[in-house]
Amino acid sequence: MMINNNLAYRINITKQEDEFWTSNQRKMHPIHYTISYRASFKPELPEFFIRRYLNDKTKVVMDPFSGRGTTIIQANLMGYKAIHNDLSPVSYFIVKARQYIPEKEEFLNRLNQIDLKKNRKEPNLEEKERFYPFFHPDTYKELLNLREEYLNNPDDKILKYIMFIALSRLHGHSDGFFSVYSFPQFSVLPEAQKKNNLRRNIKIIYKDIKSRIIKKYLNDHKIEIPSEYKISNFNEYYQLDSQNLYMIPDNSVDLIITSPPFLDKVNYKQDNWLRAWFIGVEEELNDLALGIYNSLEEWKEFMKNSIKEMIRIIKPGGRIVIEVGEVKYKKNTIFLEDVIMDIINNYFNNVYVDEILINKQMFTKLSNCWKIENNIKGTNTNRCIVLKKYYHTYKINPVSFNKKIKLTRKLLNI
Ligand SMILES: C[S@@+](CC[C@H](N)C(=O)[O-])C[C@H]1O[C@@H](n2cnc3c(N)ncnc32)[C@H](O)[C@@H]1O
């Protein structure tokens, strides 16, 4: 059944544009930036909304499309319990790994226990084809030794953090990475890497992984982790489809801050193949239906189902902040907050659109290299639509509803 109970509110909704948070880069705690992740938002975004809507540390913050965990980590840094959800096992790993952040001593002691130089049998041809475009054979051997240690001890939380730091160093474009010159935000395919090596005349040199892991750890822990972060002990971590968050009870979350996959802009599977291999979840990732939508209609259906779940788990009076972008679709620019607004107006009677905030700052999510024109394909603004759940489900009464619209129109003189 189509309903339209939000129209009265909709008339009042204006889009507020401002620089709500800074456009400066990397101003928040370094543990946010340890690992790059495609289409992540800046930590300033969840910080802004947590400050705006919460002032009591018993509240719970959640993100159903958590990615690299920007909302979760920021909530914990501010002393709030958080609930992570993302269908991707790579996302699960990189967020869960930061639940416990080891002290320098324990980190170094555990790392020293691993025999990274241990000899291994010669890789077969297929392996060489896959990994040698990225790594020197001795670097590859060290990676295999670290990986094996982790796969044999998946519950060792210090080792998990070591793996997390190593994962962040897997591929990228500076000497701090284990690979030859490559892209840091996503794993390119071996064929593409091979071509690039030829084109750039790249020599595959040995990169010692231990010194690079230590350097990265020290660099990202120059600023102390605040004691509030210990709340992360109470976090919950899920790997569910956002359309069915069955493990999260009704009315149990105070604030959701999230950004869904945008139409078909990012291929989360292909882009993460090397990372998924390293942490042993490649097959799991391949089996998932991870956010590629061929039409706006498909995306709307997906968002309708996901919003239904968000509304179910949010407490009455709680808010859902959905960050979306503008996308090019069939040669038109579509502001996705308008699409969300339509979904709310047409299908839901237990939330209303509270406000729409557009952060003015312009940015490009990826730089323009590897022949990817992201300025055109990607999103350029932070457009946040905020929904608020009614304390009581709004009963649809056509008479009073029409009266309400008439009154609003009269007030606004329209
Ligand atoms: C735009 S990213 C979120 C980035 C995040 N805000 C951050 O700062 O890192 C969208 C995320 O949605 C996840 N995703 C895609 N389809 C999903 C689904 N059906 N259920 C849950 N998560 C999904 C992807 O794995 C991806 O991590």
263 or 114, which is more confident? 114
On the question of pLDDT at 401 being above 70, the answer is no
In the sheet that 236-238 helps form, which strands lie side by side, from edge to edge?
15-18, 351-359, 382-389, 314-324, 253-258, 60-63, 81-85, 236-238
Whole-number Å distance, alpha carbon 189 to ligand 1 midpoint, is 21
pTM, rounded to two decimals: 0.89
Q: Which residues have CB under 6 Å of ligand 1? A: 37, 39-41, 65, 67-68, 70, 86-88, 91, 241-242, 259, 261, 268, 290-291
Measured distance CA(35)–CA(188) in Å, rounded: 16
Mutate to test the pocket of ligand 1, among 290, 299, 301 (most ligand atoms within 8 A of CB): 290
- Mean residue pLDDT of the chain comes to 89
State pLDDT tens for residues 366-399: 433 333 334 444 455 789 999 999 986 555 455 5
Measured distance CA(410)–CA(414) in Å, rounded: 7
- The answer to whether 170 and 177 are in contact (CB under 8 A) is yes
CB neighbours of residue 381 within 10 Å: 18
Residue whose CA lies nearest to ligand 1 atom number 26 = 67
Looking at residue 172, the DSSP 8-state letter turns out to be: B
Residue 269, classed as helix, strand or coil, is coil
State pLDDT tens for residues 59-106: 999 999 999 999 999 999 999 999 999 999 999 999 999 999 999 999
- The answer to whether 69 and 94 are in contact (CB under 8 A) is yes
Mutate to test the pocket of ligand 1, among 33, 63, 65, 271 (most ligand atoms within 8 A of CB): 65
Backbone angles phi, psi at 181, to 5 degrees: -55, 115
Looking at residue 174, the DSSP 8-state letter turns out to be: S
Beta-bridge partner residues of 333: 328
- The answer to whether 48 and 21 are in contact (CB under 8 A) is yes
Work out which ligand 1 atom sits closest to the CA atom of 289: 19
158 or 270, which is more confident? 158
Start-to-end Cα distance in the chain: 28
State pLDDT tens for residues 198-228: 999 999 999 999 999 999 999 999 999 999 9
Whole-number Å distance, alpha carbon 245 to ligand 1 midpoint, is 14
Q: Which domains does the chain have, with CATH numbers?
A: 13-87+235-267+289-390 (3.40.50.150), 104-220 (no CATH)
Measured distance CA(57)–CA(55) in Å, rounded: 7
Residue whose CA lies nearest to ligand 1 atom number 19 = 241
Whole-number Å distance, alpha carbon 201 to ligand 1 midpoint, is 36
